[in-house]
């Protein structure tokens, strides 16, 4: 399987409205990330822009609709489109989520968590094997944001992901905002979660913003919206992870209330300073 890791620098999620500004004012960005499903067409402006970006930057393609955690088989047509996209752009990284988004013929435009137990581990491992075999590359699997726990969940999420990586040879994408959102919603310590996380498998980190809300019973909760700057507690956890691993590719995600290019570039510079600090004092991650 091919493996061309992303550079251990800060990346940004690419938005078409920033294309002209990126060309005029290139920032210190190590890579761009795009959602695979936005490029399932064959041509037009999306591919023209992505081709131009690919010429100058490393690329991460992030799938959001394969339903790796679903109970049914993977969608063969969706897999074929992912394969064609990876063959066309040869990205340094391809990633998907430990989540499900479809059931039978119904597609939900969301990333839904699943109970973590031996049954789901075997099913997800088979799906990851199929994905990696189809793409002929190692993929990264991302930890989800959670809003509830399951009565039939028997394996802690970090241990589930460690076993998934050991069984399939996949890498992991550590979304630190998802860890923080889940910790607040489910009432656990995010640092304890990260202490148990198999950091040696991490090939990319995601950082994003969230929003505060209340559930039906009036309890405070967080929503993973990707619609705000990265929160200070999330950046603090990012720094602690890097202090342990050394610099890792770290992406600033923004999908809603997208600011102008200069504002995003400034946020990327904050994360870049953390990577530079880690570069001087911590070992290099063995799987990056």
Q: Please, which residues have CB within 8 angstroms of residue 215's CB and are 6 or more apart in sequence? A: 221
Q: Which two tokens stand for residue 186?
A: 């489910």
* Cα–Cα distance, 255 to 227 (Å, whole number): 6
89, 31, 98, 37: which is closest to 62 by C-alpha? 37
* Cα–Cα distance, 155 to 170 (Å, whole number): 19
Q: Note whether 76 and 70 are within 8 A (CB).
A: no
Q: Note whether 65 and 39 are within 8 A (CB).
A: no
* Cα–Cα distance, 224 to 93 (Å, whole number): 23
* Cα–Cα distance, 126 to 128 (Å, whole number): 5
Of the pLDDT bands very low, low, confident and very high (cuts 50, 70, 90), residue 104 is confident
pLDDT score recorded for residue 109? 75
- Secondary structure, 3-state, 115-167: CCCHHHHHHHHHHHHHHHHHHCECCEEECCCCCCCCCCCCCCHHHHHHHHHHH
How far from the centroid of its chain's Cα atoms is residue 244's Cα?
A: 20
pLDDT score recorded for residue 194? 98
Q: Note whether 140 and 94 are within 8 A (CB).
A: yes
In this structure, the chain runs to a length of 288
pLDDT score recorded for residue 235? 97
Of the pLDDT bands very low, low, confident and very high (cuts 50, 70, 90), residue 244 is very high
Could you tell me the domains of the chain?
A: 10-280 (3.20.20.150)
pTM: 0.94
121, 171, 134, 180: which is closest to 5 by C-alpha? 171
* Cα–Cα distance, 97 to 99 (Å, whole number): 5
Of the pLDDT bands very low, low, confident and very high (cuts 50, 70, 90), residue 286 is very low
Of the pLDDT bands very low, low, confident and very high (cuts 50, 70, 90), residue 4 is low
Give the end-to-end CA distance of the chain in Å, rounded to a whole number: 15
pLDDT score recorded for residue 288? 42
Tell me the β-bridge partners of 250.
10, 205
% of the chain at pLDDT higher than 90: 82
Antiparallel, parallel or unpaired: β 100-103 and 106-112: antiparallel
């Amino acid at each position: 399987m091919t493996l061309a890791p992303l550079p251990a620098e800060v990346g940004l999620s690419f938005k078409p409205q920033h294309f002209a500004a990126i060309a005029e004012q290139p920032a210190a960005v190590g890579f761009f990330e795009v959602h695979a499903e936005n490029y399932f067409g064959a041509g037009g402006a999306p591919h023209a822009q992505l081709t131009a970006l690919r010429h100058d930057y490393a690329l991460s393609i992030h799938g959001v609709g394969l339903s790796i955690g679903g109970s049914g088989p993977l969608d063969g047509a969706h897999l074929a489109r992912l394969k064609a996209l990876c063959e066309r752009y040869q990205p340094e990284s391809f990633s998907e989520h430990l989540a499900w988004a479809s059931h039978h013929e119904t597609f939900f435009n969301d990333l839904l968590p699943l109970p973590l137990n031996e049954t789901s581990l075997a099913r997800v491992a088979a799906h990851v094997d199929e994905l990696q075999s189809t793409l002929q590359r190692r993929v990264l699997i991302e930890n989800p944001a959670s809003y509830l726990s399951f009565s039939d969940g028997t394996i802690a999420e970090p241990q589930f992901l460690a076993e998934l990586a050991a069984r399939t040879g996949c890498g992991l994408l550590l979304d630190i905002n998802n860890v923080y959102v889940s910790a607040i919603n489910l009432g656990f310590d995010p640092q304890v979660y990260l202490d148990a996380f198999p950091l040696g498998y991490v090939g990319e980190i995601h950082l994003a913003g969230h929003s505060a809300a209340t559930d039906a019973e009036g309890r405070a909760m967080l929503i993973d919206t990707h619609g705000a700057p990265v929160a200070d507690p999330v950046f603090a956890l990012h720094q602690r992870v890097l202090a342990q691993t050394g610099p890792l590719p770290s992406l600033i995600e923004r999908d809603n209330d997208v600011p102008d290019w200069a504002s995003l570039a400034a946020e990327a510079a904050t994360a870049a300073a953390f990577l530079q600090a880690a570069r001087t004092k911590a070992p290099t991650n063995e799987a990056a």
